[in-house]
Structures are given as C-alpha cells and as structure tokens.
C-alpha cells in the first residue's frame, strides 16, 4: 500500500465547480495531481505547473522590468576623523 500525502492549497479555486479551499494536491509516480473534494474533479498538473499556478498566461504587468543591482564600492578614508 502506498501512502500518498495530500495537501490542501489555500485559496485555490476548483476549475470545475468554483469551490474555494477544496483543492488538494499530491504526487504519485513523480507526477503532480490536483483534485477537488467538493466535486471529485481530478487533473494532472503538468501544464499548470509549467505556466505558473494561479496566474493565467500573459498576465504579467506591462511595466514589469528586471531588477538591476548596482554594486557601488565604498572607499574608507583612514584620515577622515568622523
């Protein structure tokens, strides 16, 4: 007997019935699945995980830009008596 650990996903909405907080996920044979305990919806999550769960494709903000970190060297002057 295989013991599967099923975990509920907070805030998840069932795509079949629309119930909130009724989706649980589990891994079986290195595949990720989701199921709804309210309506018995069941789906393999390969495409949902690849695209990002909770965000429809193409929902990035228009003004999104990568962060650019600047490394400013700080010189310490030993003659400055602070």
Q: What is the mean pLDDT of each run of 10 residues along the chain (82 residues)?
A: 81 92 90 93 71 54 73 65 56
pLDDT of residue 56: 55
Per-residue CA distances from 25 to 2, 7, 10, 12 (Å)? 16, 5, 11, 10
CA distance 57 to 16: 19
pLDDT of residue 20: 93
pLDDT of residue 69: 78
pLDDT of residue 74: 65
pLDDT of residue 23: 94
Considering the entire predicted model, what is its pTM? 0.51
């Amino acid at each position: 007997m295989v013991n599967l650990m099923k975990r509920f996903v907070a805030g998840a909405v069932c795509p079949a019935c629309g119930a909130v907080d009724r989706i649980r996920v589990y891994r079986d044979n290195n595949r990720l699945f989701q199921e709804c305990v309210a309506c018995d919806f069941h789906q393999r999550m390969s495409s949902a995980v690849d695209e990002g769960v909770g965000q429809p494709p193409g929902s990035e903000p228009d003004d999104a830009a990568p962060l650019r970190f600047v490394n400013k060297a700080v010189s310490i002057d030993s003659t400055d008596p602070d």
